[in-house]
Amino acid sequence: MRLPSDKAVRNYTPTQLKSFERTGGDPEVLAYWTPERMKAAKSLDAPGDAEWVESKARAVASKTADVAAKPVAAQISQRVTNAPPPVTNFSITNGKLFIGGYESGSWCSASAINTSSKRVLITAGHCVHGGQGGTWLQNLVFVPGYNAFNTDHDPVGRFQAYWLRTFNEWINNSNLNRDVGFVTTYSGGDWNTTVVNTIGGHGLVYNGGTEFDTSIFGYPGNRDGGNVMWACWGTATDNSILDNKSKITCNFGGGSSGGPWTWNYDNASGLGSVRSVMSTVNSDGVNKGPYFDQAVVDAMNAANADW
């Protein structure tokens, strides 16, 4: 114990400690804490420490991301669908991921990532594996730019899944901080080549902040029945330092899972860098996405090597 006027910490003998049982404590300490001093006392994290904690949290939330993959344009198809600004291109690099076969009643959202194999998609972990107590999902088919309102639902064809990947933390514990999945695809589409050569590939960034401007794409079931791609844009904010996720109020329901949260999205090219993927939505319409760190990059590289 040390009062502000003390030069050193107070040490007590066993005899003094025993005497304090009768007085209720050190008389000098008890005398120091007058009602005025108690009223004026500050908690340990205020005001200076609270500002320090806040500034540190903000620094983490807004820190610069590292680049794991750069976007690349399509070599074959440049088709896009016009939409109102600020998203004016609903990029065909994004698409609908059917689970259980083409145009099945179960789907997620996904997008192509530029890796050396040109075959990798990114989506949510729960779109490739059922999580704790579940198993790997079957017969996944990716359809870039899917639009059920058009005569041609699959404007550049379909790409069947070859191999699936997600994190053990998702498989064993359904840990939403690891709700990220990767799909390695066969050659396919209307030109029977790789998915990235056909539709282009987004980049991927990691180790950035949890707050960033983003354009989000997906097929939410609560918007047009999930029959056409939707977009949401704005600033993703920090959900909690404890769970390391970002949040944004898009009110994108089931089916949008796995849709890319792109950063630096370019309407001209329809490309950006994926910084998170759609994971959950709550009753207030708040969507959340997991943080991308080095482990996500490692998983992407492993998926690239699966071919």
Please give the chain's pLDDT, 307 residues, in tens.
555 566 555 666 767 656 655 555 666 655 655 555 544 443 333 334 444 344 444 555 556 677 777 777 666 544 444 332 379 899 999 999 999 999 999 999 999 999 999 999 999 999 999 999 999 999 999 999 999 999 999 999 999 999 999 999 999 999 999 999 999 999 999 999 999 999 999 999 999 889 999 999 999 999 999 999 999 999 999 877 677 899 999 999 999 999 999 999 999 999 999 999 999 999 999 999 999 999 999 999 999 999 9
Residue 9: per-residue pLDDT: 56
pTM reported for the whole predicted model: 0.75
Q: Long-range CB contacts (< 8 A, 24+ apart) of 186-190?
A: 186/119, 186/159, 186/160, 186/161, 186/162, 187/119, 187/159, 188/157, 188/158, 188/159, 188/160, 189/144, 189/156, 189/157, 189/158, 189/159, 190/156, 190/157
Number of other residues whose CB lies within 10 A of the CB of residue 50 = 13
Give the Å distances, CA to CA, from 34 to 6, 131, 302.
17, 58, 65
Taking Cα atoms as reference points, which of 172, 175, 173, 195 lies closest to residue 183? 195
Residue located via tokens 């609560």: 222
Residue 112: partners with Cβ closer than 8 Å, 6 or more residues away: 93, 120, 121, 144, 195, 196, 199, 200, 201, 202
Q: Are strands 203-206 and 271-277 parallel, antiparallel or unpaired?
A: parallel
Give the Å distances, CA to CA, from 232 to 63, 268, 292.
23, 17, 20
> Which residues make beta-bridge pairs with 117?
none
